[in-house]
Amino acid sequence: MVGLTGDFDTIQAAAKPLGILVEKAKKEKDGSVTVSHGAEVVGFSPKDDGGHWIWTASTTSEQYAKDLPQIVKGENP
């Protein structure tokens, strides 16, 4: 799995076409930082580098363990 890092505009530009919410970080009065973002995971096919699958925050580790090896093999989970 790969997470995005970089400046806000780049991350937001990558997330937007996938329908994933990313908001600018907000510095709180106590000095902490609050960031709101989606919890979706997008699966990209090794065949065409396209995003074909999406998992939500409710996806279990068992489901990832079942699906990801199939995707790596080029199969549809």
Quote the pLDDT of residue 74: 81
How is the chain split into domains, by residue range?
1-38, 39-77
In terms of DSSP bridges, do strands 41-44 and 51-55 run parallel, antiparallel, or are they unpaired? antiparallel
10-residue stretch averages of pLDDT, the chain, 77 residues long:
79 86 91 88 84 91 94 86
The model's pTM:
0.65
The per-residue b/e assignment along 25-64, b for 16 or more CB within 10 angstroms, e otherwise, is eeeeeeeeeeeeeeeebebeeeeeeeeeeebeeeeeeeee
